Structure 1
């Protein structure tokens, strides 16, 4: 695995790249979810390269080891899409090797917008893992969200301070109890920074602030209707996401046939069922 920093839209984003030892049969770009990181997909990537796939995963802005935006800026969702566009243009060769874009949760929403509004050229497959967007907001909820955002812009967001990496790992294991301690420690230490006062998460605490605006459902449905890339959707039986009342309507708006699959785990199949997930992705990405 090669870990490198790339200049994307004036920010240094950390990108992890896995390549097979033999010939490459396809490229897979994976977009991680909110407050996640590229290396949480390591077990999936390791299995994918044994099947002949190159795998590219970068930490989103303000996540993992990637740079934060300036104190005068904020995290607007469309900027994640612009980062993906720049990454694809600069780092994914335009040749005959097929490219599959995989998005999980927030990464799925980024991938969906990219496939619909930016470009489907050079994109051969789209995989959305619990990534058809957040719940619909009422006008009142949207207004309250904007008010919270404006209030929070004037407050200082901070992280809890841990006395040691082991304490942070313990916190991480409570959120992901299906991981062994060794893997949880590995993932935790990649997301930690140290100061004289202790250890804290590397992701920008402003990610916990409310976003300024949410996309109206009419726009989301229009985006879905305009996707022309062959699309596969994965939902997880034990995840709260599967209970969203909007899901069936969103899936019905695809203008192309979609493949819909379910897996028996929670919201993070890349951590809970990495082998099963990677084998499913291989089946999709290997299609001609």
Structure 2
């Protein structure tokens, strides 16, 4: 499957995978900063998200295969691979399945364990938006506020809005397929999947996605890994403290 991407800069390949209901564009500011350090940054839309193809099939197995195809098409190897949340799950899967293409792995605020579905309210709000006759982003924000109180989360979700035609807003993601496959989002790595390459897990101090007891599981799958906590941030750690996140990643990937 052809994946849409925005490529910034030149140098060593650095691929970034967004989280559930996001898109590569969410990482534009940080991507530009990484590119200034001699990296060719690929901001990728995963299947059923952003401008990449919509399909009824959806799983981490498929998303790892999509990424392998992408690397083959662009002749990429020895890659730096960074994934946040759902993107982190894809990145872990990819690193375990295609270690020959990997340089370093960075996983933002997700563990290799199973997570129960917990996006129901967000999906209800987006379903309401997709059925509404929207004429402005302000109107969409007002309607979405009935479901999601956090302004920052709404702004993140509303980035998916685009003008489908004059006077008509629509959502870029394949909402039906994502709702249909919601149980896939929380899937764990299988017990035999491991990656022995250099790996960094960054979690938010206020987030409960990576708990103290998950660290031993991370080590089982990723024996050459370090877990780093950024204090005072939640699940969107890269958006809340971009400077700290950037420094942590750069320090890790620049180490020989």
* TM-score higher than 0.5: yes
Correspondence 1:128 to 2:107: yes
Conserved in 2, the CA contact under 8 Å of 1:59 and 1:65? yes
Indicate which of 135, 141, 160 corresponds to 1:163: 135
Deviations 1:104-154 (A, max 9, x none): 11111111111112x2113110111123245356xxx9xxxxxxxxxxxxx
Conserved in 2, the CA contact under 8 Å of 1:178 and 1:272? no
Distance in 2 separating the partners of 1:77 and 1:190: 22
Indicate which of 211, 224, 242 corresponds to 1:274: 242
* 1:101, distance to aligned residue in structure 2 (A): 0.6
* 1:192, distance to aligned residue in structure 2 (A): 2.2
Partner of 1:150: none
Partner of 1:77: 60
Correspondence 1:18 to 2:8: yes
Partner of 2:152: 177
Indicate which of 180, 186, 202 corresponds to 2:172: 202
Partner of 2:124: none
- The verdict on how the C-alpha distance between 1:246 and 1:195 changes in structure 2, with shifts beyond 3 A counting, is farther
Q: CA RMSD in A?
A: 3.2
- The verdict on how the C-alpha distance between 1:222 and 1:157 changes in structure 2, with shifts beyond 3 A counting, is farther
Equivalences for 1:1-288 in 2 at 5 Å?
Answer: 9=1, 11=2, 13-19=3-9, 24=11, 26-69=12-55, 73-94=56-77, 98-117=78-97, 119-133=98-112, 135=114, 159-161=130-132, 162-168=134-140, 171=144, 175-177=150-152, 184=155, 188=158, 191-195=161-165, 198-206=168-176, 207-211=178-182, 220-223=190-193, 226-243=194-211, 247-254=214-221, 256-264=223-231, 265-288=233-256
- The verdict on how the C-alpha distance between 1:104 and 1:213 changes in structure 2, with shifts beyond 3 A counting, is closer
Conserved in 1, the CA contact under 8 Å of 2:8 and 2:35? yes
Distance in 2 separating the partners of 1:175 and 1:84: 32
Distance in 2 separating the partners of 1:214 and 1:275: 28
* 1:55, distance to aligned residue in structure 2 (A): 0.6
Structure 2 runs not aligned, ≥5 long: 118-126
Aligned length: 241
Partner of 2:122: none
Deviations 1:173-229 (A, max 9, x none): 9545399xxxx59x8456424357832311111212344668876x53321xx2111
Conserved in 1, the CA contact under 8 Å of 2:111 and 2:210? no
TM-score by length of 1: 0.72
Aligned to 1:251, what secondary structure does the other structure show? helix
